[in-house]
Structure 1
């Protein structure tokens, strides 16, 4: 046990957060009693993803201990797992019914704040403007961007930098992603916002095409109820773009920028977010990027610690 605790202490902060965050979610669920309302049937997709991840970890661990992989592959497995782990940490918010904990602690919904801020900045909530742009083709593209680019951009970038042998860039991006996701998940609980598609559905006079209901059902099978502020579907692509921008050629930069703009627009077009959610997501990405880029690396930290000991 002591060896395990010492190992955890030696982990970088972003790795530690992948365990600390779901532990906090569990503590809140126990304190509020929301854990008693777990609905396994309604969380089949989330529970299956969590079980699959745990089985992979248990299966790979003995292979890593026996060094069955090349040193390069072993490094990747040891350094990549925190990314899916923190995403699974988000699923604990849904599985442990943290929306009931919001009610227990009497945290008010903040949709009215978002509507007021959108009205001040834009005249009305932004999704109300975009309903007049709806076409079947554009809706299909927005659904594709929303579903796939959110994961493809950060995970594809991590795989690219691993393939290129740019380990330091890989670790910096991983750290930024975990900080942004963890902080965003916490804000979901502190500032609960249900989003335009639910809160103000009666104000939309132009319906989305019927096939959008299939997308909404798929998203909702993984979704925590109040996951709007800030828009992490905005923050994560912009964070990935800003963190990796200097490392790419202009053709790749153009593709990444197009993907990032597509997914940002999709959050508003598909009525999942208010304009203020998107602005907050972009600012959150800027803050995390600035913070991570100005943090000393793990190597520098170890050097400072060694200097102090001597």
Structure 2
């Protein structure tokens, strides 16, 4: 599973297909048909492009950061008030099986939740929920990126000598393979926590109970894993929770405004058409009377 980024991607794809089938009882590949049918829907493609652009910006952020002159490292400030709490927590709970499970959820399930949410909302053709998903995920990244650039915080294990980075016990090549998409000092706020929670909030707006239950359990394990694996500070987690609430709330408001705008446009168009037809009819009637 962890042989390469390719095998990780394949695992995530298989998990996504499996979950979509189980949770929606529909063929997940119908997404391609819906995409084809909606190829002339400019609004949908604008939203796809928006999300793609934001994800690209997040990817470029790691490259920009490599040439960025940081004004400081704020990890030690957090360490001063969190003290030995995370070290004691990890030492108390350490177990190789727990490490296996949490690594799986941190690397595989986290991305699977994003892809599964995307496909489920899309094939259900719940446009408002789908657009809210795009806005919410995008806002998480957009809000987090400035913090990563101007307020760098290193992962706990890198700073705290008594906290161990546990992922390499399961995924030995993590640093050479996965690190390219996960910056060492991109900790505050925690996107694993914020995006997971955002997806959980979104799932509770759907009518899919099994999906809600799966999301609830998965998000709980992911949030636990960010601390247990020696990656995030409790401060990162708290900031991630706040970011999730902010992004979800803003996304909801944007989605409502967009929906209202679309409804207003839909109401206005028939009225304008009616007025136009009435004008044409009156003109024809006048011409007949004149003749």
Question: Structure 1 length as normaliser, TM-score?
Answer: 0.66
Q: 3-state SS of the aligned residue for 2:205?
A: helix
**Are the aligned partners of 2:196 and 2:219 in contact in 1 as well (CA < 8 Å)?**
yes
**Are the aligned partners of 1:132 and 1:206 in contact in 2 as well (CA < 8 Å)?**
no
**Are the aligned partners of 1:99 and 1:225 in contact in 2 as well (CA < 8 Å)?**
no
Structure 1 137/260 Cα, relative in aligned 2: closer, same or farther at 3 Å? same
**Are the aligned partners of 1:238 and 1:260 in contact in 2 as well (CA < 8 Å)?**
yes
**Are the aligned partners of 2:156 and 2:163 in contact in 1 as well (CA < 8 Å)?**
no
Look up the match of 1:136. 96
**Separation (CA, whole Å) in 2 of partners of 1:231 and 1:198:** 16
The answer as to 2:64 corresponding to 1:93 is no
Deviations 1:163-193 (A, max 9, x none): 1111111001100110111111111112100
Deviation at 1:74, TM superposition (A): 5.6
Deviation at 1:77, TM superposition (A): 5.3
**Are the aligned partners of 2:165 and 2:230 in contact in 1 as well (CA < 8 Å)?**
no
Which of the residues 181, 190, 198 maps onto 1:239? Answer: 198
**Separation (CA, whole Å) in 2 of partners of 1:299 and 1:205:** 48
Structure 1 300/271 Cα, relative in aligned 2: closer, same or farther at 3 Å? same
Look up the match of 1:274. 233
Residues 5-44 of structure 1: matches in 2 within 5 Å? none
Which of the residues 87, 108, 128 maps onto 1:148? Answer: 108
Look up the match of 1:66. none
Deviation at 1:214, TM superposition (A): 2.5
**Separation (CA, whole Å) in 2 of partners of 1:163 and 1:205:** 42
Deviations 1:88-112 (A, max 9, x none): 322212223x144233xxx111112
Which of the residues 130, 137, 148 maps onto 1:177? Answer: 137
Deviation at 1:301, TM superposition (A): 4.2
The answer as to 2:128 corresponding to 1:168 is yes
Q: 3-state SS of the aligned residue for 2:231?
A: coil
Structure 1 284/136 Cα, relative in aligned 2: closer, same or farther at 3 Å? same
Look up the match of 1:116. 80
**Are the aligned partners of 1:233 and 1:264 in contact in 2 as well (CA < 8 Å)?**
yes
**Are the aligned partners of 1:93 and 1:224 in contact in 2 as well (CA < 8 Å)?**
no
**Are the aligned partners of 1:139 and 1:209 in contact in 2 as well (CA < 8 Å)?**
no
**Separation (CA, whole Å) in 2 of partners of 1:168 and 1:206:** 40
The answer to which of 160-169 and 72-81 deviates more is 72-81
**Separation (CA, whole Å) in 1 of partners of 2:192 and 2:54:** 15
**Separation (CA, whole Å) in 1 of partners of 2:55 and 2:189:** 16
Note the aligned Cα RMSD (angstroms). Answer: 2.9
Q: How many residues align?
A: 232
Question: Structure 2 length as normaliser, TM-score?
Answer: 0.70
Q: 3-state SS of the aligned residue for 1:246?
A: coil
Which of the residues 27, 32, 37 maps onto 1:71? Answer: 37
Residue segments in structure 1 that go unaligned for 5+ positions in a row: 1-44, 50-68
Deviation at 1:73, TM superposition (A): 5.4
